């Protein structure tokens, strides 16, 4: 008896061919392995822990063989190779640059950048202090300053310094990294809104900081760095009018939104907060209708943050994005990945899908989306 095998309706890889992966933590790719945590008692000790504890666990990862030059090179090269062969155009490759690893991940990434440039694959290398800075003038801050001139872009996590023992608080962390982006005229990606709760207001603080430090400081338009907020999932907890103000803040200050559907789908959501029901992703359709540029990244590939996703290709994000948004128009979804401008017919499809949602909810459609 023969078995009928139906082909896939859509070849996902072909849909995102030529696209950029806008946010991925390259130095931690493929590190969800017991041998990389054996010196700390094994990976089981790091599985069921909070997001902040997972951030702390990168220090343990740094101390093991995963961050030897040989292992960094082998792991990153293997993923770059797969992405290049799949037809992706390039990646914003983020590497940990805390002082404990003495720039090893950064130097390996720059080496691979040159190797893959010869193949026509673009690797942009971003410096990142996942462990925060703690205090002004710390070794961690000095390390970022040392590597900044050779980086292609910067990445930060202000919430890491939102701690009573850190004299450089979250706002200081944010201002520091915006100042660095201004100094070198390089893009800055800011992690924010990851807790997915209405009490989290870091996105609003970033908008205010960008308005003050970048757009109201007399810096010529051509010299202003591109600022992106990564995730912003907590904005989905807001009521419609408040979200409209957030979207306006993005648009008016030329802030882009980067979403990583696979990563945010694994958010540990706080059940003690009673916020409007929503899927764990920023409200992408509303941001697009509000005139905000939305980009897509893979974020984590087979690491302690998203362990059960070892597919490194950008194509993996498309069905998750479509399912979380409940939006299936293939041509429009592709444009979110490619960055192509939306036609009026595309925007009409997005708006119609939202109108359908509001009708189902028996709620009035927000005037700012009309």
| pLDDT higher at 184 or 302 | 184
Examine residue 4 and state whether it is found in any structural domain, yes or no. no
Q: Is residue 2 part of a domain?
A: no
Widest CA span in the chain: 74
pLDDT of 9 > 80? The answer is no
pLDDT band at 182 (very low <50, low <70, confident <90, very high): very high
Average pLDDT over residues 136-150: 97
Whether 5 is covered by a domain: the verdict is: no
Q: Mean of the per-residue pLDDT values for the chain?
A: 93
7 assigned to some structural domain: no
Classify residue 198: in a domain, yes or no.
yes
CA atoms within 13 A on the CB side of 108: 27
252-296: pLDDT as tens digits: 999 999 999 999 988 777 788 878 888 899 999 999 999 999 999
Domain count, the chain: 1
Residue 208 lies in a domain: yes
Lowest mean per-residue pLDDT among 9-23, 48-62, 226-240, 321-335: 48-62
The answer to whether the beta carbons of residues 362 and 240 sit under 8 Å apart is no
Range of the domain at 44: 14-369
Tell me whether residue 183 is in a domain.
Answer: yes
Mean pLDDT in residue range 18-39 = 93
Residue 178 lies in a domain: yes
Sign of torsion, CA 322 327 329 331?
negative
Please state the rounded mean pLDDT for residues 348-368.
97
pLDDT > 70: percent of the chain: 97
Q: Residue written as tokens 């009035």?
A: 364
- In this prediction, residue 309 carries a pLDDT of 78
**Among 189, 323, 331, 354, which residue's Cα sits nearest to residue 257?**
189
Give the domain CATH number at 175. Answer: 3.20.20.140
The pLDDT-based confidence of 2 (bands split at 50, 70, 90) is low
Contact 54, 304 (CB under 8 A): yes
The CA R_g of the chain, rounded to the nearest whole Å, is 20
């Amino acid at each position: 008896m023969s078995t009928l095998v139906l082909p896939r309706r859509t070849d996902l890889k072909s849909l995102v061919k030529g696209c950029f992966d806008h946010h991925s933590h390259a130095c931690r790719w493929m590190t969800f392995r017991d041998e990389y945590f054996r010196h700390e008692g094994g990976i089981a000790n790091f599985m069921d822990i909070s997001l902040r504890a997972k951030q702390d666990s990168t220090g343990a990862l740094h101390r093991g063989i995963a961050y030897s030059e040989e292992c960094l090179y082998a792991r990153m090269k293997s993923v770059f190779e797969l992405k290049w062969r799949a037809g992706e155009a390039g990646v914003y490759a983020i590497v940990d640059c805390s002082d404990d690893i003495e720039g090893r991940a950064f130097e390996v990434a720059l080496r691979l950048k040159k190797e893959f440039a010869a193949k026509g694959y673009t690797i942009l290398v971003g410096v990142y202090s996942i462990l925060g800075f703690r205090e002004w003038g710390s070794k961690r801050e000095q390390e970022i300053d040392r590597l900044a001139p050779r980086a292609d872009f910067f990445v930060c996590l202000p919430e890491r310094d939102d701690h009573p023992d850190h004299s450089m608080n979250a706002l200081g962390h944010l201002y520091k990294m915006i100042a660095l982006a201004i100094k070198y005229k390089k893009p800055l990606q800011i992690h924010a809104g990851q807790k997915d709760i209405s009490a989290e207001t870091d996105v609003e603080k970033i908008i205010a900081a960008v308005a003050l430090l970048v757009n109201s400081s007399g810096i010529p338009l051509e010299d202003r760095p591109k600022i992106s907020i990564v995730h912003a999932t907590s904005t989905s907890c807001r009521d419609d009018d408040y979200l409209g103000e957030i979207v306006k803040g993005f648009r008016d200050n030329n802030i882009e939104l980067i979403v990583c559907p696979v990563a945010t789908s694994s958010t540990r959501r706080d059940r003690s907060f009673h916020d409007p029901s929503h899927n764990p992703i920023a409200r992408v359709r509303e941001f697009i209708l509000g005139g905000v540029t939305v980009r897509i990244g893979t974020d984590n590939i087979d690491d302690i943050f998203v362990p059960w996703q070892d597919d490194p290709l950008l194509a993996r994000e498309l069905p998750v994005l479509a399912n979380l948004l409940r939006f299936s128009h293939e041509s429009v979804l592709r444009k979110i990945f490619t960055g192509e401008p939306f036609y009026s017919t595309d925007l009409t499809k997005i708006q119609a899908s939202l109108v359908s949602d509001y009708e189902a909810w028996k709620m009035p459609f927000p005037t700012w989306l009309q």
